[in-house]
Structure 1
Amino acid sequence: MRNKAFYAVGILLSSLMGVSACTSGGNASTYTVEGVVSDSSANGKTIYMMRYDDSRRLDSTVVKDNRFTFTGSVDTASLCRIDVSRTAFANLVLESGKITVDLENYNQPSGTPLNDEFARISKSEDSLYQVMKEKYEEYEAQYKDREELTKQWNAYADELQKSQLEEGKVLFAQHNDDAVGYYLIFSSRFASMSPAEQKELLLSAGPWLKSTRFVQEKLAKIENLEKTAEGSPYVDVKGKDVEGKDISLSDFVGKGNYVLVDFWASWCGPCRGEIPNLAKLHKAYKDKGLTVVGIFVWDKEENFAKAVKEEGITWAQIFDTEGKATDFYGIEGIPQIMLIAPDGKIVKRNLRGEYMIKTVENTLKK
């Protein structure tokens, strides 16, 4: 119930938290960034202004009397971050002009056109979050039956999400070749679109934005997702097993069984939450046409064998030594569990929980 409700809220909140850096063409111009930080312990400390895409330091200064100033020249417009602590930071567009930031009000830079627009969008989204919070409390008071509450809230959240996505498309059309447009592409609002919608939006970008590394990588991921859609052939993944020996997904696919493939990591709570379901299927169907294979991704090699042992996993595991497994399948979130047929075609993606169990059981009955 709350998952869906606050997923919709998350579209609004997280979008400005994980913005990646971008650049746009232009002649070198001067900038001044003036800021305040309420934490007196920051006085005397050197702080940095960094790009989001690679955390590259662009400038540094020293905090004095709870204030700081960055000055320099810029020939590109970049989404950046000034960071003093986990609770004192600011996101801004580094562009020519005088920019003002408050590290206690992280998404409200002001003073230049793109920063004013960035702040306007952020403020409207924060405002909408409060409206949604109040609406949910209203629904909780109105609908005492949990099933009816779920139904009514999901309907409201769905409609709101649709309107937010449409608004995002309109905003992008207005900023399809600048730093604000770049922010919109890397927001959770964009992530909530279907791959087809994402691709259409990206292809409508201006020449600079379309040529950026992050947009090119996103387009490549969407292409790989399309290539590995349900009904498409699987892509082989090579790596090491828990004993350090070479192992491949092709060692299991095409051998007569359906193969249930689980992309997971030790730090991923939901991934580990699916282990009991996978264990249940492995135990019930390992001799009845099903092979379960785990692919360990986005994690350190030293965590591999440890996590497998902790979870009591007895089915095959592949450590993604090259770090490309999720790229092959256009995966942007884990767990990602998919079922592959004996002929190597992908039957289903995005399998979880009871839905996964029923899908496997029904498939094996055919």
Structure 2
Amino acid sequence: MKTNSWLRVGLLTLSLCLALPAVAQRKKGSKHSTARKATPRKPKAGNYLILGTAPDDANGKQAYLFGDGQAALDSTMIKDGKFYFERPVDKSLIVARILVPQSYYLLVIPEEGTINAPVDKEAASGTPLNDLYAKLKQEDEALVAPYRDRLKALRTDASLSDEAKEEAYEKIVTELNGIQRPRLLARLTEHPSDAIGYHALQSLLALGDVEAARAEAYAAIATEEIRNSEPIAKQLSALRRQEATKAGAQFIDFTGVDDANQTVSLSDYVGKGHYVLVDFWASWCGPCRREISHLKEVRDAYSDKGLVILGAAVWDEMEDHLKAMKDLEITWPQIVNKNEATELYGIQGIPQIILFDPEGKIVARDLRGKAIDNKLNEILSKTEGKL
């Protein structure tokens, strides 16, 4: 599967190290403590004790402990560079995360014992799985670092066109994937029921060239508990949706609002007798904004041949969207749909540009830059110059 934006460079290299789930924000009203007794020397039987340390700039701030859900499991204030959490081991909690908002983040594996958690370091330690995770993370970082440097140099290389950069980017990522895949697969096979295998599976599913069938095969190696965890389930769902919306599939409708806050649906444009190019984008997305200039060229070159361009504003707020529309001088219609559109099409990175044919079938996904022109010109050569 072709990667579809420079935005995903950082996400990809991060996932290749041992993918970290997104930090969830604490919901209002979640229960947490703010006062503590003296730090215990060791945990009670069946508990895990997290002994946290933090730099001086974190003193007086709250440290939160998150699981896979949205609400914080616990919180406490950092004092004199120290804090702690002690909780019963919960078999359904595969990993936990310590968050000091806008400052520090650390993943921990909540297994029985004492876990040393320096929030300004790369990994926790003190128990078997946390020690192993730290070792593997260090190994993976050493492997990934040269590729990350190559990607960074490529991104800033002014001598290359965007098309040449995209081609070189794909080669580097493919090379790295080829090295990482067997390592991660061996790790998953060796640890199908614990946090090490959980992260190996997350990383395998995030490699970028994994189709649904291969993803299902990877997931089958893990235990049911791992497969059903929220992050893994979401990754698998996205890959299944990508499979269901690949080239040749009929479009799946969704509804949102236009820039005047009036109800509008994808079916108002797609399947109406013209080719429709749909740009899934957001105002905050740098690569999305850069792609707009090329879409204007596409509009000017192909609109009179029948092409319709439609924006699908996702993961965005209306106020920010409208400002971007004005700043970027975008003239084509929009559907603002915050989450459903990306879920239906299994979109994990933007911009994602999809071309639909006059009957509503998907012609191609992951179109960017000159690839859009090439695809449209290919179609025009077979349709007597009509889109």
- Where on the TM-score scale, by shorter chain, does this alignment land: which range? 0.7 to 0.9
For 1:261, the equivalent position in structure 2 comes to 278
* Percent of aligned pairs with the same amino acid: 35
1:84 counterpart = 2:86: no
1:235 shift after superposition:
0.9
Aligned length: 347
For 2:65, the equivalent position in structure 1 comes to 49
Q: Distance in 1 between matches of 2:268 and 2:78?
A: 58
For 2:290, the equivalent position in structure 1 comes to 273
Deviates more, 1:12-21 or 1:180-189: 12-21
Structure 1 unaligned blocks of 5 or more: 22-27, 138-144
Amino acid at match of 2:124: P
Query: With structure 2 as the length reference, what TM-score do the two structures score?
Result: 0.79
Contact in 2 for aligned 1:264/1:336 (Cα 8 Å): yes
Q: Distance in 2 between matches of 1:235 and 1:207?
A: 30
Query: With structure 1 as the length reference, what TM-score do the two structures score?
Result: 0.83
Amino acid at match of 1:67: K
Q: Distance in 1 between matches of 2:82 and 2:252?
A: 54
Change over 3 Å in CA distance of 1:353–1:188 after alignment to 2: farther
312, 336, 344: which is aligned to 1:328? 344
Q: Distance in 2 between matches of 1:208 and 1:282?
A: 49
Amino acid at match of 1:343: E
For 2:175, the equivalent position in structure 1 comes to 159
1:123 counterpart = 2:125: no
Change over 3 Å in CA distance of 1:167–1:193 after alignment to 2: farther
Contact in 2 for aligned 1:257/1:290 (Cα 8 Å): yes
304, 309, 323: which is aligned to 1:306? 323
Change over 3 Å in CA distance of 1:131–1:85 after alignment to 2: same
Q: Distance in 2 between matches of 1:229 and 1:153?
A: 23
1:172 counterpart = 2:188: yes
Amino acid at match of 2:126: G
Deviates more, 1:236-245 or 1:177-186: 177-186
Contact in 2 for aligned 1:240/1:319 (Cα 8 Å): yes
Change over 3 Å in CA distance of 1:184–1:364 after alignment to 2: same
Amino acid at match of 1:270: P
Change over 3 Å in CA distance of 1:43–1:270 after alignment to 2: closer
Contact in 2 for aligned 1:100/1:111 (Cα 8 Å): yes
Change over 3 Å in CA distance of 1:86–1:257 after alignment to 2: same
Contact in 2 for aligned 1:168/1:189 (Cα 8 Å): no
1:361 counterpart = 2:377: yes
Q: Distance in 1 between matches of 2:250 and 2:19?
A: 36
1:133 shift after superposition:
7.0
Amino acid at match of 1:259: V
1:229 counterpart = 2:231: no
Secondary structure at the aligned position of 1:287 is classed as helix
1:228-284 deviation digits (Å, cap 9, x = unpaired): 110111111211111122211111222221111111111111111111211112222
Contact in 2 for aligned 1:12/1:188 (Cα 8 Å): no
1:45 shift after superposition:
3.9
1:326 shift after superposition:
1.0
Change over 3 Å in CA distance of 1:45–1:156 after alignment to 2: closer
Structure 2 unaligned blocks of 5 or more: 24-44, 153-158, 383-387
1:362 shift after superposition:
2.2
Contact in 2 for aligned 1:48/1:58 (Cα 8 Å): yes
262, 266, 274: which is aligned to 1:245? 262
Contact in 2 for aligned 1:9/1:129 (Cα 8 Å): no
For 1:141, the equivalent position in structure 2 comes to none
Q: Distance in 1 between matches of 2:203 and 2:126?
A: 23
Contact in 1 for aligned 2:66/2:72 (Cα 8 Å): yes
1:28-63 deviation digits (Å, cap 9, x = unpaired): 9211111322x2233344422222x33532233343
1:315 counterpart = 2:317: no
202, 205, 216: which is aligned to 1:186? 202
Contact in 2 for aligned 1:165/1:190 (Cα 8 Å): no
Amino acid at match of 1:326: T
